[in-house]
Chain A
Amino acid sequence: MNNLTTVGKKIPKRDAPPKATGSAIYIQDLKVPGMLYGKILYSKYPHARIKGLDTSRAEKLPGVRAVVTASDMPANFRIGVMKDNPPLKAGKVLSIRDEIAAVAAISAEIAEEAVSLIDVEYEELPGIFDPLEAMKEGAPLVHEEAKSNVLKMPWKLVCGDVEAAKKESAYIVEDTFSTPWVTHCCLGTSGCVAQFDTNNNLTMYSNTQIPSLAQNDYIDALSALGLKNRRVRVVQCVIGGGFGSKLDTYAYEYIAILLAMRTRKPVKIIFSREEEFFATSPRQCTITKISQGCDKEGRLTFREMEMILDNGAYTSWGATTPSVMMLPISSLYKVPNIKYIAKCVYTNNTYSQAMRGYGNPQATFAIESSLDQLAEKAGIDPYELRLKNANEPGEITPQRFKITSCGMKECIDEVVKRLDWKGKKGKGGNRGVGMASLIHVGGGARVYKSDGCGTIIKMDDFGKVDVFTGASEIGQGSDTIIAQIVAEVLGISIDDVNVINNDTDICPWDVGVHASRTTFVAGNAALGAAKKIKEQVLEVAAKLLEEDPASLDIKNGVVFSVKNSEKTTPLGKALRKVHYTLGGKMLMAEYFYDPANENFDKEFKGNLSVSYAYGAHGVEVEVDKETGQVKILNYIAAHDVGKAINPLLLEGQIYGGGLQGIGYALGEKMIYEKGYLKNGNFLDYKMPTVKDVPYVQPVIVESDEKDGPFGAKGIGEPGLVPTAPAIANAVYDAVGVRIKDLPITPEKVLKALKEKEKGA
């Protein structure tokens, strides 16, 4: 692998020039001729009966083309994982983001005015905003027809015998940890343009990160709306940030479709920043009870976790995050006995969705904080405890994950070395060090029946290549990675590779950007297609050069014989020969890669991913005892990535993920009070600015994953998984207080310090 020309190089992102010059077209920038502007009216109350709804004033406003309410939607049409969410609500509203009506008008301003003219008469109802209250006997039901506020999604994982292991443990710790709602804060807000053609086929301009699955959702919606067997084309504009927020379809998309159907005009809905905060779905909040134990030597004996998740009023992917939480719960370190139960509970709060890490940050916060408590109780250095129990290649974990490549120990060692762990641990002076590790899926994740991605490659007369991929570029750099892989295989310059990725009419199928799967799955699909087309090219060239195809290769766009260096032909010449020959053909290859991973069985066991990503973060902090402020002095982020296809982009994922993790650890929280969002803006929601950037050292560990494209594994999500517990552990080392409820705000630190003083 030393002879690589493109893979492994710091190649700038291919979509950076249009973005840096302002010519990239985001959904915000898109104008379709004749386009109308849609706007949604949301509920004023988190729980209320709609007693009256009068849209007549809005309808009369000049420039308004349509006003729609629940009566315009098919009565039984529901969206979401549990099909519990009607895109327009009738009868009762269950949260402040409930959509009641919408308008389409000739300008955004008129649409906004029209929405303000819709009269709704509410009868406010008492709401339920605490999942623990909602679980109690006799609690008011959020969905009366559901009979219970506890979602029928019983998450339960049992491996070995936890009760027996408890009896045999020398040390046991038990505690409760909690995490808040945090939101993606994509700089480009959500939006779409829905457009019908004369045959009622739909084109949806969108910024989804699941084009093929969204297409399926829209086809279902058209069917429900009476438009059966229609075609749906999803065209993605340049996407202004994803992080999981676009992994499901939202009510606004169906409302845009309905408005476009009504008006026979393209309808655009773009969220304001305010809507982006309250009407998109944040990371799932959690309350976690955890217990872990070890024997006298510090070998972990069991891990038991019980979790309550506030599901909000409707169900999206947030409710399924326990499936991914099971990964660190069962398999972060070697733990033979595992028990995990999670309950999702309906409330009148917002509902959650996927966000980078998909439950892993919440679970890892509890596990890694608790692990430090266990180390202290057992009198073992937290580093030694981690190293002793670290995962290793060849291991099969209790949940039946088959660990292939595993650089966990190397990552832990890098952290210890670069942080000067031994020199700094427990030295006082309000300074401290902490660490935490991570495991995440790194070779796809079979959460659907397929984990596949298709790729088509065609070559033109001049040796230039078009790659049609199912993978979506959401800023992470998938286009560049795919282009690098294809250029490497075909022996051509990356400048000769064009990646097309944004149109379901021409791009192959893919399950979407999630689970850090794109480099691995879409990369392998591109690799497969490139190898296939290379074979075809070499066959053609073999005839031209009168050589055996097996002895030919391509370098710098020239086909050459490895046996006879004089036998060469420029790639273009060979390709033209294919086209300009009687009975010629066109050069095209397709490849569908679906990794050999497994769906969970009924007990939630099975090899979810064909490889696993590892990492360890270490941090040195200084805590100001007067203000409670936590200052990060040094931050090491070591990641086992298999192989860095592009170190420039890889570092970008580590820096970017890291700062999102720091935001999660130290400042970010959506404050919901009785169902109302109190800080839905950039002033009050503390997303990190450039002033919050500490000194971060990314460390790349390459473990050469046998199934990865050129050895690579996923890195999209891992960067923020262990951040919060590493910081919490460092704060404890610095001043002896443990914050168990994220974020670690100065107020919480001060309060804990005061309580500690009192206790002393």
Chain B
Amino acid sequence: MKKELTFTLNGEAITAEVDPKWTLLYLLREVLDLTGTKEGCGYGECGACTVIIDGRAVNSCLFPVMEAEGRSITTIEGIGLKDGSMHPLQTAFIDEGAVQCGFCTPGMIMSAKALLDANDKPTEEEIKDAIEGNLCRCTGYVKILDAIKSAAGGR
């Protein structure tokens, strides 16, 4: 039985017909074609599906779609600046060499954005806490840390 759901997605009001059994990730990827949000495990352990819900970084693969009602949700597709340029975190990830295969990158950037939105001068430990749930197999995380520090410093 489909239900109607209304929420804000990347700054725009949206109404969607959803099956209450869905996860938010399913709605984003399979129905709305927002495939920038990745599924790496489907059980909340890798962080590739991270989106920002009301300011908090959340694993969308565990988030029941009905819980999105009335909330504001941001995905990797929605963080670019109004002039069409990339978000400073995206630029920093590119410039610092923080992207290799790139599968973890959108989730990693969303976790970092939730952190920087709340705390624009995080310590290294705070950055590590924020992205601890985001797994990356390529980079060894060092350049990801560099990128987040650089984006924070540039603000």
A residues at B contact (CB < 8 Å): 10, 12-13, 15-26, 28-29, 184-189, 238-243, 272-273, 474-477, 648-649, 651-652, 655-660, 681-683, 687, 689-691, 693, 696
| Bound Cα distance A475, B101 (Å) | 4
- Can you list 11 residue pairs at the A/B interface with Cβ under 8 Å? A17-B90, A20-B93, A22-B34, A22-B76, A24-B102, A188-B101, A475-B100, A652-B143, A655-B142, A689-B135, A690-B145
Chain B residues near A475 (CB-CB < 8 A): 100-102, 138
Q: Report if B63 contacts A (CB, 8 A).
A: no
Q: Is the CB of A693 within 8 A of B142?
A: yes
How many residues of chain B are within 8 Å of chain A by beta carbon? Answer: 49
Q: B37 touches which one: A19, A22, A188, A272 (CB < 8 A)?
A: A22
Q: Is the CB of A20 within 8 A of B135?
A: no
Chain A residues near B141 (CB-CB < 8 A): 655, 659, 689-690, 693
Q: Report if B42 contacts A (CB, 8 A).
A: yes
B residues at A contact (CB < 8 Å): 29, 34-43, 45-46, 48, 75-77, 80, 86, 90, 93-95, 97, 99-106, 109, 128, 131-145
Chain A residues near B40 (CB-CB < 8 A): 187-189, 273
Chain B residues near A28 (CB-CB < 8 A): 35, 38-39
Q: Nearest A residue to B147 by beta-carbon distance? A: A20
Q: Is the CB of A17 within 8 A of B137?
A: no
| Bound Cα distance A19, B107 (Å) | 11
- What would 19 more interface pairs be, CB under 8 Å, given A24-B102, A690-B132? A18-B102, A19-B101, A19-B102, A21-B76, A21-B77, A187-B48, A187-B101, A187-B103, A241-B101, A475-B102, A652-B97, A656-B100, A656-B137, A656-B138, A659-B141, A681-B41, A690-B131, A693-B141, A696-B140
| Bound Cα distance A135, B133 (Å) | 43
Q: Is the CB of A22 within 8 A of B93?
A: no
Q: Is the CB of A649 within 8 A of B97?
A: yes
Q: Is the CB of B36 within 8 A of A25?
A: no
The list of the 8 closest CB pairs from A to B, nearest first, reads: A22-B36, A19-B102, A475-B101, A655-B140, A240-B103, A659-B140, A22-B76, A682-B45
Q: Is the CB of A185 within 8 A of B137?
A: yes
With A20-B86, A660-B137, A687-B135 known to touch, is A13 a contact of B41 (CB < 8 Å)?
Answer: no
Q: Is the CB of B43 within 8 A of A13?
A: no
Q: Is the CB of A16 within 8 A of B140?
A: no
Q: Is the CB of B101 within 8 A of A13?
A: no
Chain B residues near A26 (CB-CB < 8 A): 38, 103
| Bound Cα distance A241, B46 (Å) | 14
With A16-B93, A16-B94, A187-B103 known to touch, is A29 a contact of B35 (CB < 8 Å)?
Answer: yes
Chain B residues near A16 (CB-CB < 8 A): 93-94, 99, 102
Q: B101 touches which one: A22, A239, A651 (CB < 8 A)?
A: A239
Q: Nearest B residue to A31 by beta-carbon distance? A: B33
Chain B residues near A25 (CB-CB < 8 A): 35
Q: Is the CB of B104 within 8 A of A651?
A: no
With A241-B137, A690-B131 known to touch, is A652 a contact of B100 (CB < 8 Å)?
Answer: yes
Q: B45 touches which one: A240, A681, A691 (CB < 8 A)?
A: A681
Q: Nearest B residue to A243 by beta-carbon distance? A: B137
Q: Is the CB of B90 within 8 A of A20?
A: yes
| Bound Cα distance A273, B105 (Å) | 18
| Bound Cα distance A649, B96 (Å) | 10
Q: Is the CB of A238 within 8 A of B102?
A: yes
Chain A facing B: main interface SS: loop
Q: Is the CB of A20 within 8 A of B94?
A: yes
Chain B residues near A693 (CB-CB < 8 A): 128, 140-142, 145
Q: Is the CB of B138 within 8 A of A22?
A: no
With A188-B40, A240-B103 known to touch, is A656 a contact of B77 (CB < 8 Å)?
Answer: no
Q: Is the CB of A689 within 8 A of B109?
A: no
Q: Is the CB of A241 within 8 A of B103?
A: yes
With most chain B CB atoms within 10 A of its CB, the pick from A18, A22, A243 is A22
Q: Is the CB of A273 within 8 A of B42?
A: yes
With A241-B101, A477-B100, A682-B41 known to touch, is A187 a contact of B136 (CB < 8 Å)?
Answer: yes
Chain B residues near A659 (CB-CB < 8 A): 140-141
Chain B residues near A696 (CB-CB < 8 A): 140, 142
Q: Is the CB of B138 within 8 A of A12?
A: no
| Bound Cα distance A660, B140 (Å) | 7
| Bound Cα distance A106, B105 (Å) | 30
How far does the Cβ of A481 sit from chain B's closest Cβ, in whole Å?
13
Chain B residues near A241 (CB-CB < 8 A): 101, 103, 137-138
| Bound Cα distance A16, B37 (Å) | 16
With A187-B137, A651-B97, A690-B144 known to touch, is A22 a contact of B43 (CB < 8 Å)?
Answer: no
| Bound Cα distance A188, B41 (Å) | 9
Q: Is the CB of B36 within 8 A of A21?
A: yes
| Bound Cα distance A477, B143 (Å) | 15
Q: Is the CB of B97 within 8 A of A22?
A: no
Chain B residues near A29 (CB-CB < 8 A): 29, 35
Q: Nearest B residue to A657 by beta-carbon distance? A: B140
Q: A474 touches which one: B95, B99, B101, B142 (CB < 8 A)?
A: B101
Q: Is the CB of A187 within 8 A of B104?
A: yes
How far does the Cβ of B86 sit from chain A's closest Cβ, in whole Å?
7
Q: Nearest A residue to B136 by beta-carbon distance? A: A187
Q: Is the CB of B36 within 8 A of A185?
A: no
Q: Is the CB of A187 within 8 A of B142?
A: no
Q: Is the CB of B143 within 8 A of A651?
A: yes
Q: A22 touches which one: B77, B95, B144 (CB < 8 A)?
A: B77
Q: Is the CB of A656 within 8 A of B140?
A: yes
How far does the Cβ of A171 sit from chain B's closest Cβ, in whole Å?
37
Chain B residues near A648 (CB-CB < 8 A): 97
Q: Is the CB of B100 within 8 A of A476?
A: yes
Q: B94 touches which one: A12, A651, A657, A682 (CB < 8 A)?
A: A12
Chain B residues near A651 (CB-CB < 8 A): 97, 142-143
Q: Is the CB of A691 within 8 A of B128?
A: yes
Q: Is the CB of B95 within 8 A of A240?
A: no
Q: Is the CB of A652 within 8 A of B138?
A: yes
Q: Is the CB of B99 within 8 A of A19?
A: yes
